[in-house]
Amino acid sequence: MLQFDERITRLLEEAYLGADFSRRRRVSFDALRPKPGDVIADIGCGNGLLTLELSRTIGEDGKVFAVDPSDDMRGAAIKRCAQCSNVEILTGTATDLPLETTSIDKAVSLQVFEYLDDLASAVAEARRVLKPGGRLVVGDMHWDTTTWFSDNPKRMKIMLETWDDHLVERCVPAVLPPILRSAGFRLDEVKAVPFSCTELHPDGLANMMLHLMKPFAVNKGVLTESEANDWLEEQVRLSQSGRFFFSITHFVITASVPG
């Protein structure tokens, strides 16, 4: 798995301010349907961008409990939300939330479940903290939907297969719905959010992946530094020559606790 150290936190900070990630947050935000006075858990809050957006819409009578296990990510979230009196940043994980039972109106988790080795426990924990009638929104990629053009498809295949090692569950949108039902949730919607581009944008998802995947592959020993550099530089050249293509589908899963 990736370690969210200071360097990776800075890289994510830049990308998460870009158009691709803003769109992804917005879809989860809309699915959650936050309203003034809501008490919301942001499970795996990362650098706090979604936390901040939620805090603005729930107002002073609401509360966002932002939970993350990473010191660096929590530090970024604390800095971002420093002026938000309705935000509390907490240390915890999706399977061990520092929240009271039936204390939360709504919960959201954006690209967190794919890193968990026990989805059932995470779902049960969300079910525990949510009130009757509460809503859970989980956003994750389905990595089987990845299409990435290269003139060297063998090398690209190696890179994509190696990248799978940074996560635990690559098909969360496919496997999560039955787990939710088994935990007593009502499945409300599974919404596909496709991302595709024919240019390599500095703030885009594809560019972020390039710069995360290259050192990851080198550290895993599947490519040399030179080979990984060639892979990255090829994608830059393809973009410059109008031959770049990247596509992946994000899914937003909405479920609710029977009221």
Residue pair 89/63 in contact (Cβ under 8 Å)? The answer is: no
Domain boundaries, the chain: 6-256
Q: What digits encode the pLDDT tens for the residues 109-131?
A: 999 999 999 999 999 999 999 99
For position 124, what pLDDT does the model report? 98
Instruction: Give mean pLDDT, residues 195-223.
Output: 93
Helix (H/G/I), strand (E/B), else coil: 242: coil
Nearest alpha carbon to residue 21 among 145, 192, 205, 200: 205
Query: How many C-beta atoms lie closer than 10 Å to residue 241's C-beta?
Result: 8
Residue 16 pLDDT level (bands cut at 50, 70, 90): confident
Q: With a cut of 80, say whether residue 95 has pLDDT above it.
A: yes
With both helix axes pointing from N to C terminus, report the angle between 225-240 and 205-220 in degrees, rounded to the nearest 10. Answer: 160
Q: With a cut of 70, say whether residue 244 has pLDDT above it.
A: yes
- Among 104-118, 136-150, 169-183, 199-213, the range scoring the smallest mean pLDDT is 199-213
Q: With a cut of 60, say whether residue 2 has pLDDT above it.
A: no
Q: What digits encode the pLDDT tens for the residues 6-15?
A: 666 667 777 8
Q: With a cut of 90, say whether residue 4 has pLDDT above it.
A: no
For position 12, what pLDDT does the model report? 72
Quote the CA–CA distance of 98 and 78 in Å, as a whole number: 17
Plot region of 143 (φ>0 → left; ψ -120 to 50 → alpha; else → beta): alpha
For position 59, what pLDDT does the model report? 96
For position 9, what pLDDT does the model report? 64
Quote the CA–CA distance of 144 and 42 in Å, as a whole number: 26
For position 174, what pLDDT does the model report? 98
Q: With a cut of 60, say whether residue 146 has pLDDT above it.
A: yes
Instruction: Give mean pLDDT, residues 38-45.
Output: 98
Question: Where does the chain have alpha helices with state H?
Answer: 6-16, 19-32, 49-58, 71-80, 119-129, 153-163, 172-182, 205-220, 225-240
Q: Does domain 6-256 have CATH number 3.40.50.150?
A: yes
Quote the CA–CA distance of 134 and 91 in Å, as a whole number: 22
